[in-house]
Amino acid sequence: MVLVLLRVSFLENVCKSRRHGRQSKMAARNPGTELDLEWVESVRVNKPACFRRAEELKVRRGVKKNTQIAWLLKAMTCIDLTTLSGDDTETNVGRLCFKAKQPMRPDLLEAVGMQDRGLTVGAVCVYPARVADAVQTLKALGASHIPVASVATGFPAGQTHFKTRLAEIKMAVEDGAREIDIVINRAYALAGNWKGVYEEVRAFREACGPAHMKTILATGELGSLVTVYKASLVAMMAGSDFIKTSTGKEGVNAILPVGLVMVRAIREYHKKTGYRVGFKPAGGIRTAKDSCAWLALMKEELGNDWLTPDLFRLGASSLLGDIERQIFHGVTGRYAAAHEFAMA
């Protein structure tokens, strides 16, 4: 095996937060603001410019060799390792938790000089009914510092009764979820009822209590980039700790033009209020190359302060397998067979 010793400052901030139980930026939450409809209605988006910029990020921001390994390790630490299937069981959720604690083969981490950094994924994300299983497994593994995230509020459609959506959040938090991924009312957003969106998300934030709230905009169902920008602002005004592109169940999920609009809304919100809000693209992110494009977006549009799992997550189920394969290739010079990894 070719040894590639890698001590990269790009990873230092996240490694530090891991060693100290994730107590860095997670302590500073977005409290939200009053709903400012004048601000919301003033939004304009240059669609052709957005698509040109997105294409530039995808095509021209390639990273190679040791730098690529560093970026892929960074992406690994920002993954919300997810299972949202109808056949989820205690067993496969437990298996996911094992992978969350040890996301990379130990020999690969040793080869790149990261064996003593305690690198894990950003969180484990499951349905509310599986939260207790994930919490118990992580505790048994000595990995309680890895947060359990739960989708809630009638995920993915959000078409259940409002009281039911609130109750689902509270039960997930009671079972140990430290992060809640909620979905907005798309009917309100499509009708321009921003007061309705704001009031629901604000109520969800209150129901989350100490748990951080990620607000899923379901951008593939919002119809335009202008609506995406407006929904982003309203969600942040309502107190979202993160805004998230998709449920992963829409026809179009995380794409760079939509991500660009959302992170620029985050930048504008931070400039006006001083509050940092995180960003989570989710759905359709499967390759290591995809993850590097999203990292480039964050680095160039929001800066290094957002390049930690406290402010950036990648919602994915299969991405980790490709990252591990690419790092294996960088270390050994060959691509691995499927049986050489514990979990694809």
Burial class (CB in 10 A: 0-12, 13-18, 19+), 129: middle
Active site residue 116: no
Paired tokens of 193 = 């009822």
Rg over alpha carbons for the chain, rounded to the nearest Å, is 19
Cβ atoms < 10 Å from Cβ of 335: 10
Residue 91: which residues within 8 A CB-CB, separation 6 or more? none
Instruction: To the nearest 10°, report the CA torsion of 163, 165, 167, 170.
Output: -140
Paired tokens of 243 = 């805004």
| Strand partners of residue 239 | none
Burial class (CB in 10 A: 0-12, 13-18, 19+), 7: exposed
Paired tokens of 17 = 């937060």
Q: Which of 99, 101, 244, 299 is catalytic?
A: 244
Residues written for the chain: 344
Backbone dihedral region for residue 65 (phi beyond 0: left; psi -120 to 50: alpha; all else: beta): left
Q: Which of 175, 181, 241, 322 is catalytic?
A: 181
Burial class (CB in 10 A: 0-12, 13-18, 19+), 309: buried
Active site residue 244: yes
What is the identity of the amino acid at 323? I
Ramachandran angles phi, psi of 315, nearest 5° = -85, 115
Q: Which of 280, 290, 299, 322 is catalytic?
A: 280
Q: Which residues are catalytic, by number?
A: 181, 244, 280
